A and B are shown apart, each in its own frame.
Chain A
């Protein structure tokens, strides 16, 4: 009883983590199912159909590839634009700072349905044809803010003495940026890009408004939900989940190893702590 009271918080915390993963477990288990009827909702019979024949149902793989293409293009553009804004916010003085902050914050605080609808209203009024182009424009728009927030946090957490030291050692401003600032900010930029890609890849609402006849992976799933989602979709979603988890865990592990290595380098730390 005392053990229970002392560890209650830990038990609740783990229970919440388990709760977060229940739907993931359902998705993965049902990828090995052979559904009894149209809908893959309850367990019927073990089958590897979903895994051995990933592209067996028309539309699954083509929409998957479309989503990856859109994700890559939107992420690259949004990461560049967002990183530039983050540098300006942290390193430069300029007028209109609070308007800028508001313009960056609002896309994160606006319901997707409103963003999707208002962008569609713009495209309709301009008679701009809907398709891959409009979806990419929309994705860049909503990813930028998340990139700004992530890169800005990294820039603000950086020790300014490292750049001062480089300047003391006669590095010109280009050299400081190339050999000190950029390598230190890079993990933040890569993290932002990863986040941006996952947001783009998974976006349904804004894409659905602005896609016209284009079918992305989430739009395919939405359509399939009415007539039964094929097991291949569950298998693909499981693969995406495992790959993303692997990437994040690897980067965490590398970061941990680097920190440990730094802590074990007494001379480096000694000079740093004396500054």
Chain B
């Protein structure tokens, strides 16, 4: 009796959008909240970054237009910017390499296990972020099986992993992996498997079919996944603080220490602003390719 089981996606036709005051009323409270507590703080952050010290009163700042704050902050902290982008870049590439096979398997091979496997991808996030990062201290410790194995093969430059950049990158890769897996899965799941079969029918080898069909069609997921992994990784300071040495500090550490410990608000604000500008540049390149409707 059941001829076709309609899937919601196939059935969804564009809903007629109404134009009335209700739309604005629904938007207003949430958008106002984001405006006041997300957008306006950037203005205050920018003003804080230009403040100047109150003469004769250390630790107090007043209104100013000290663009030199940026020069001072950058000349002191530029190596941390470079390190942050390198660490986050390596972690993003590693995450892509680790996530792709899993996302591919869930999208094409998992069958009835699909939703369970997706739950398992998100599940680790239910345990505290800080504790999971701290757990890597145990896993990568000098007496741990990973360090001793790699050491016996003479593969480690410093004879250890913990308190080196390798540990920080390992932590970043692990912590932001779900942000890579989920967009990749979303893009792969949309691919019609018949396209890959068709490539096979036209005598493409599995490798060639992947290169010419699957990979290009999954690119939106790759772009979204790399952005969602790279951005939090570049701004993170927990991994560097818990797993690295003082020589592995990232820009997030500098912002946090200047804001909370040194209370050097102008320097910390200037650093935040530069970080944000770099990331905005990344996001806008993405928007120019994909448009805003795909973002949310």
Interface residues of A (CB under 8 A from B): 9-10, 12-13, 16-17, 19-24, 26-27, 30, 41-42, 81-82, 84-85, 87-94, 98, 100-115, 117-122, 124-125, 137-138, 140-141, 144-145, 148-149, 152, 156-161, 198, 202, 204-205, 208-209, 217-218, 221-222, 225, 229, 233-234, 237-238, 240-241, 244-245, 248-249, 252, 256, 263, 266-267, 269-270, 272-273
A89 CA to B124 CA, complexed, in Å = 32
Min CB gap B45→A, angstroms:
4
Give the nearest-CB partner of B136 in chain A: A23
In the complex, are the beta carbons of B119 and A12 less than 8 A apart? Answer: no
Give the nearest-CB partner of A149 in chain B: B296
B269 — which chain A residues lie within 8 A by C-beta?
Answer: 117-118, 121
Q: Does B222 contact A (CB under 8 A)?
A: no
In the complex, are the beta carbons of A41 and B18 less than 8 A apart? Answer: no
Closest 3 CB pairs between A and B? A111-B235, A92-B23, A81-B30
The bracket for how many chain B residues form the interface is 35 or more
Min CB gap A127→B, angstroms:
12
A238 — which chain B residues lie within 8 A by C-beta?
Answer: 127
In the complex, are the beta carbons of A125 and B2 less than 8 A apart? Answer: no
Known: A141-B34, A266-B2. A94 touches B279 (CB 8 A): no
Interface residues of B (CB under 8 A from A): 1-6, 8-9, 11-13, 15, 17-20, 22-24, 26-27, 29-31, 33-35, 37-42, 44-45, 47-48, 98-99, 101-102, 104-106, 109, 115-117, 119-139, 141, 143, 174, 177-178, 227-228, 231-232, 234-238, 242, 252, 255-256, 259-260, 265, 268-269, 272, 275-276, 279, 283, 292-293, 295-296
B174 — which chain A residues lie within 8 A by C-beta?
Answer: 19-20, 23
Min CB gap B282→A, angstroms:
9
Q: Tell me what chain B mostly uses at the interface: helix, strand, loop, or mixed.
A: helix
Min CB gap A132→B, angstroms:
15
In the complex, are the beta carbons of A105 and B138 less than 8 A apart? Answer: no
Min CB gap B163→A, angstroms:
13
> Contact partner of A101 among B128, B132, B256, B292, CB < 8 A?
B292
In the complex, are the beta carbons of B130 and A218 less than 8 A apart? Answer: yes
